Structure formats: C-alpha cells, structure tokens
Structure 1
Amino acid sequence: MKLNSKGQVTIPAGLRARHNLHEGDEVDVVEEGGALRIVRVADAETRGQRLVRHMRGRGGAGAVEGLSTDELMELLRGE
C-alpha cells in the first residue's frame, strides 16, 4: 500500500470484507508498541443504523408506488 499526499491509504477489499468494514464506517488509527492499528470507533453508527436513519420518514402509503427499479435503487442508495 502507498500513502497518498493527503496521508490516506486504501484498505484492500479482502480485508474490508473480512472485517465487515463498509463505506462510511468510522475508524481510528492508534499507535501500539511502535505499530499503527486501524480500529473501529466503538460507539459509531453501524451501516444498518445509517441506512435506517437515511430511510426514516421516506415511506408511507404510496411513497414508492409507481417508481421504476432505477428510481427505487437511487432512493435506497441516497443518490
């Protein structure tokens, strides 16, 4: 991995999947014994909690009736 000019690194997809890390998850970098560790922020919202917060209030009778599949996917993704 390379550190970019902003001090950022990309966590490989396999490691993100293995450790259940998703876009928007909050992590910290901590120093332990001369090494750096990436750890999940303990009290941060989970991916599911973020999705529920995003979708809350968007439902109701007829809220999605008549929408195309693309429109539904756009709504679910928050685009």
Structure 2
Amino acid sequence: MRVTTKGQVTIPKEIRDRMGIGPGSEVEFVPTEEGARLVAVNENLSEKEAARRFKDALDRMEGTLDLGGMTTDEYMEWSRGPREDLDLD
C-alpha cells in the first residue's frame, strides 16, 4: 500500500467490508509495537445496523475455535479455572 503525496492510503475493499467502513466512516491509526493498527471509530448506529454488524462478525468467526472435543462446560472450566465458590462435595 502506497501513501500518496497528500498522506492518503486506500483501504482494500475486503478490509472495508469486514470492518463496516463506508463513505463518511471515521477510522484511526493506532500505533503498536509492530507498526500501526487500523481502528474503525464507533458510530451512532441504529440498533438494527449494530445487530447486523455483530451477527456478521459472529458469522465470520464461526468454526474458528477448535475446542479439541471439549464440551462447553469443560472449556469454560479450562479457560477460567475451577470455581471455588461452589461446594460440590
């Protein structure tokens, strides 16, 4: 990606679509140790549009987590550790 003489870059369509960036959207470049991260600034979205974007994000994530055959309860215990507030004796 090349920076123009005006300091502009073109965000690839795939990334714009994935992040819900359209004409008039605001974005920020946030410095990281690796370089910079593109962040879409939260917009005042309608509840319907926010729900659609959330569903689209969930759809993109579907099937990306391999639990290695663990059940949901087993995974939750693995990720959080055993619950000490429950008396299971």
User: How does the TM-score come out when normalised to structure 2?
Assistant: 0.45
Q: Please list the CA deviations of residues 17-45 of structure 1 after superposition, one character each: whole Å capped at 9, or x if unmatched.
A: 11111110111111011411111223x43
Gaps of 5+ in 2: 47-89
Moved over 2 A (4+): none
CA RMSD of aligned residues (A): 2.0
Paired positions, count: 47
Answer 1 or 2: higher relative contact order, Cα 8 Å, separation at least 6. 1
2:20: which partner in 1?
20
Q: Percent identity?
A: 37
What CA distance in whole angstroms lies between the structure 2 residues aligned with 1:36 and 1:12?
16
Q: Between Structure 1 and Structure 2, which shows a larger proportion of helix residues? A: 2
Report the TM-score, using the length of structure 1 for normalisation. 0.50
Helix, strand or coil at the partner of 1:17? helix
Larger radius of gyration: 2
Residue identity opposite 1:17 in structure 2: D
1:45 equivalent in structure 2? 44
Question: SS in structure 2 opposite 1:18?
Answer: helix
1:29 alignment partner AA: F
Any idea what SS the aligned residue of 1:30 has? strand
Determine the C-alpha separation between the residues in 2 that align with 1:34 and 1:14: 22
Question: 2:41 aligned with 1:6, yes or no?
Answer: no
